[in-house]
Amino acid sequence: MPRGRPRAFDADKALDKALKVFWRKGYEGASLPDLTSAMGINRPSLYAAFGNKEALFRKVIQRYANGPASYVRIALTRPTARAVVQHLLREGVQILTNPRNPRGCLAVQGALACGDSADCVRKELIRQREALVTALRNRFERAKSEGDLPADSAPADLARYVATLMHGLSVQASGGASRSQLQRVANLALRAWPT
Amino acid sequence: MPRGRPRAFDADKALDKALKVFWRKGYEGASLPDLTSAMGINRPSLYAAFGNKEALFRKVIQRYANGPASYVRIALTRPTARAVVQHLLREGVQILTNPRNPRGCLAVQGALACGDSADCVRKELIRQREALVTALRNRFERAKSEGDLPADSAPADLARYVATLMHGLSVQASGGASRSQLQRVANLALRAWPT
DNA sequence: GACATTCTGTATCAGTCGGTAAATATATCC
DNA sequence: GGATATATTTACCGACTGATACAGAATGTC
C-alpha cells in the first residue's frame, strides 16, 4: 500500500462518470462543476488524480476505446470483410443507441467543431477517427489479397465508406433516431458491399 | 430612409461573417469577440441588430439553408429518386469540401453535443437535420408511387440512409478528408440504391 | 436650429470558466 | 510517537463569458 492518505474514491469509477459527461456534452460543453459533481469529488482531487481537463479527456478517450468502443477491435478479427462490416455496423448501432449510455459516439461529438482552446483535443479525435479508416483499409487490403474481396475493389474507398456510415449513424443516434431505424439503415448500407 | 443614425455596416455581410465563424467553431465554440471581430462591429451593434447570440445563430441557420445548403432543395426537384440522391451526394461533397468555406456541415457541427445552455440550439439543429429525412422520405414515397422506385422499397429507410451518408460525409470533411476521397465514397454509396 | 430617433464606442456588469494556494485530515515508515 | 507523504476541503485567482448602461455621434422631422 502506498504511503500517505489513501484516495477516498475509485479512480476508475470516477473516470466512467467523467466519460458519460464528456460523451453527452462534448469536451467544451462539459464544465468542471459538471465533471466533479458527476464524479463525486471536488476540483483539487480531480487535478491531483488526472492532471487537468484535457488530460482527463485523453484518459476518457482511452477508456472509451477499451470499453464501449472495444467492439471495433473485435469486428476486425472476423474472418471475412463482409463479416467485419456487418459486425461493425450492427454492434455499432447497439452501442450508439444503448439507453444506458449517452447517444452517439464520443469520437464524433466530443469535439467536432470548437473554439481555439479545444483545438488540440479536436485534432486528437480526428486522429482517432482516422485510425478506424486505416484499420479498415488494412483489413480490406488483406481481404483483397486473400480473394475475399474482388480484385477490382478499392480497399481505401471501402474503408472510408464504412467509416462514413459509422459516423453518420452516430449523428443520427445523437439526433434521437431509434435503434430499429438505424438497424435498417445498416442493412441497407450493406447492399453496396461488393460480392 | 429610416429615421436616426444609419447603420454603418452591411447586416447581410456581417451575417455571412458570423456564419463562417459558427460554421467553423460551432455555437458554443464561437465567442462574442470571435463574432464581433469577424463581423467588424462591436458588441452593442450586434445586440441591436440581431438580438443576442442565440438569435444571431438562428438567423445564421436560415442564411445557411438559403445559401450554401440551397442545393438540397434543388436536388429534391430532380426527376428520379436516383438523380435526387446523386445530386445530393455529389453537390453535398462539393459544399462540404469547398476551400472557401469551413469544412463540414453547419447543421451537424453547429451543436452536436453541448452544455445545457446551448441545448435548445442543439434541438433546433436536430429539427433541421430531421427535416432533410422527412423531405427525402416524401420524395421517395412519390417516386415509389410513380414506379420510379421498386414496390418493395422502403422510402423511410432509404431517406434515413441518404441522410446518414450526408452527415457521415460531413464528419469526414470536418476531419480533413479530401474532395476526391468523398466523391469516391459517394459513388460507392450509390451502389446500395435499388434499381 | 431644436428635437426625436437610431447607431457607435467605451466602459462595465454579474456569472462562470479552468486552475490553484494553503490548511487540514489520514495514512505509512521509522 | 514523530516524521513524512498523500488526499481532501475551503477559499480564492485572473481571465473570459454573454450581455448592458451610458454618453456621444449621425441622421430625419419639424
Please tell me the distance from the alpha carbon of residue B150 to that of residue A33, in angstroms, as a whole number.
54
Q: What is the pLDDT of residues A26-82, one digit of tens each?
A: 999 999 999 999 999 999 999 999 999 999 999 999 999 999 999 999 999 999 999
Check residue A151 and give its pLDDT: 97
What are the respective helix, strand and coil percentages of chain B, to the nearest 5?
A: 75, 0, 25
Check residue A167 and give its pLDDT: 98
Q: What is the pLDDT of residues A77-113, one digit of tens each?
A: 999 999 999 999 999 999 999 999 999 999 999 999 9
The arithmetic mean of pLDDT across residues A170-188, rounded, is: 98
* Residue A46 host element (H or E): helix A43-50
The arithmetic mean of pLDDT across residues A3-8, rounded, is: 94
* Set of chain A residues whose Cβ sits within 8 Å of the Cβ of B30: 115
pLDDT of A2 strictly over 90: no
Check residue B161 and give its pLDDT: 98
Cell (9 digits) for B160: 434515413
Question: Which residue numbers in chain B have pLDDT < 50?
Answer: none
**Are the beta carbons of B112 and A114 separated by less than 8 Å?**
no
Q: Where are the beta strands (DSSP E) in A91-142?
A: none
Contacts of B79 (CB under 8 A, 6+ apart): none
Can you give the distance from the CA of residue A5 to the C1' of nucleotide D1 in angstroms?
18
A180 touches chain B (CB under 8 A): no
Can you give the distance from the CA of residue A3 to the C1' of nucleotide C13 in angstroms?
48
Check residue B188 and give its pLDDT: 97
Q: How confident is the model at residue A195 (pLDDT cuts 50, 70, 90)?
A: confident
Can you give the distance from the CA of residue B66 to the C1' of nucleotide C11 in angstroms?
38
* Set of chain A residues whose Cβ sits within 8 Å of the Cβ of B169: 164, 168
pLDDT of A1 strictly over 90: no
Q: Which of A160, A171, A190 sits opposite B112 (nearest CB)?
A: A171
Q: Which residue of B has its CA nearest to A194?
A: B191
Mean pLDDT, chain A, integer: 98
The arithmetic mean of pLDDT across residues A129-148, rounded, is: 98
Residue A169 in contact with residue A92, Cβ under 8 Å? Answer: yes
Check residue B1 and give its pLDDT: 79
